[in-house]
């Protein structure tokens, strides 16, 4: 069976073709990062316009790279939620049209669910597992008992961790997107300041919730003091942010006695986060799974 996947939930136009026997045949992503840089974040109307312009060329490239004709597709999968409505409707409209023209099934896909299970495109995961979803729009922790059976443990009360990276990058005048910029810069600095780890000591209703707005404010105060380099501030921020993600995941592992962790979403590409989880894996006899880098960010 060959499935064509369409992703337009934010600012990347992604189309991929997956063969049940051969795996991923093509995975094309058209990024809008350069266009959104001047805004310091995603401008929804601009994102929708670019999806409209790019989606057919991306579709044609995906088919060409897979060496497959459109009529050879057995089903059309498309992201339907969550995301920017003005962006989602572009992908859904194209998916519906293709499904109708080809008389093939239309498969609605939940964006967070897709991030969690992207790892299974490359390896089989044993159930149950703890899933940490970290991206520009989401920071959430789940128990995944099996496909479509989830227990929501907690999420962010304000900024998502990827959003915090973007805002800190803006405070440091480093550019957009902030995630990869901060990650690279942090390795050139030192943790000169022990910044707050919000909600990390909370053992009540917020034990599995996250909050990054206070951490962002702490960074702003450091910037205003003008006593540390950008490299040191980036390192101090990254150490705090990744500590919270890793330690809350460990809390879930210990409470529910689950030895498998899946980390997914755009921020799962973060080098320091991967290092800390790999250290956790060794020290606590766990198995931590990360998608390959090309499957971390939004894609078909």
The enclosing H or E element of 109 equals strand 106-110
Question: How many domains would you assign to the chain?
Answer: 2
Task: State residue 236's pLDDT score.
Answer: 98
141 φ/ψ sector (left φ>0, alpha ψ -120 to 50, else beta): beta
Looking at residue 32, what DSSP letter applies? -
Instruction: State residue 40's pLDDT score.
Output: 74
Which of 36, 70, 104 marks a domain boundary?
Answer: 104
Put simply, whether the predicted model's pTM sits higher than 0.75 gets the answer yes
* Domain at 12, CATH number: 3.30.420.40
Q: What is the pLDDT of residues 189-207, one digit of tens each?
A: 999 999 999 999 888 889 9
Mean pLDDT of 231-245: 98
Q: Where are the alpha helices (DSSP H) in 103-212?
A: 111-117, 161-171, 178-186
Q: Residue 203: what pLDDT? A: 82
Pair (260, 143) in one structural domain: yes
Measured between alpha carbons, how far is 53 from 163 in angstroms, rounded to an integer?
Answer: 26
Which tens digits make up the pLDDT trace of 83-114? 999 999 999 999 999 999 999 999 999 999 99
Task: At 277, list the tokens.
Answer: 């989880």
Claim to verify: residue 83 and residue 173 sit in the same structural domain: no
Domain extent for 7: 2-104
Task: Please check the confidence at residue 32 and state whether its pLDDT lies above 90.
Answer: no
Look at residue 157 and tell me whether its pLDDT is greater than 90. yes
What percent of the chain has pLDDT above 70?
100
């Amino acid at each position: 069976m060959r499935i064509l996947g369409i992703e337009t939930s934010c600012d990347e136009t992604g189309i991929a073709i997956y063969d049940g026997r051969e795996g991923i045949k093509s995975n094309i992503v058209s990024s809008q990062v350069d266009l959104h840089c001047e805004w310091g974040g995603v401008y929804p109307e601009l994102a929708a316009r670019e999806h409209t312009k790019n989606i057919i060329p991306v579709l044609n490239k995906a088919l060409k790279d897979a060496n497959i004709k459109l009529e050879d597709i057995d089903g059309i999968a498309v992201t339907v939620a969550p995301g920017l409505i003005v962006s989602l409707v572009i992908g859904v409209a194209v998916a519906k049209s293709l499904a109708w023209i080809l008389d093939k099934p239309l498969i609605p896909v939940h964006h967070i669910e897709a991030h969690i299970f992207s790892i299974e495109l490359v390896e089989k995961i044993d159930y149950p597992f703890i899933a940490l979803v970290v991206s520009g729009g989401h920071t959430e922790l789940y128990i995944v008992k099996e496909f479509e059976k989830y227990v929501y443990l907690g999420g962010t009360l304000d900024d998502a961790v990827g959003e915090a990276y973007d805002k800190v990058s803006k405070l440091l005048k480093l550019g957009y997107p902030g995630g990869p910029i901060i990650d690279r810069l942090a390795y050139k600095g030192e943790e000169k300041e022990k910044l707050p780890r919000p909600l990390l000591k909370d053992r009540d209703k917020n034990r599995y919730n996250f909050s990054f707005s206070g951490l962002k404010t702490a960074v702003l105060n450091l910037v205003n003091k003008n006593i540390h380099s950008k490299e040191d501030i980036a390192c101090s921020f990254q150490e705090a942010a990744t500590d919270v993600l890793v330690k809350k995941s460990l809390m879930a592992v210990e409470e529910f006695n689950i030895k498998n962790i899946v980390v997914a979403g755009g921020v799962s590409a973060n080098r320091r986060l991967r290092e800390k989880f790999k250290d956790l894996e060794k020290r606590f006899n766990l198995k931590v799974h990360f998608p390959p880098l090309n499957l971390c960010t939004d894609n078909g």
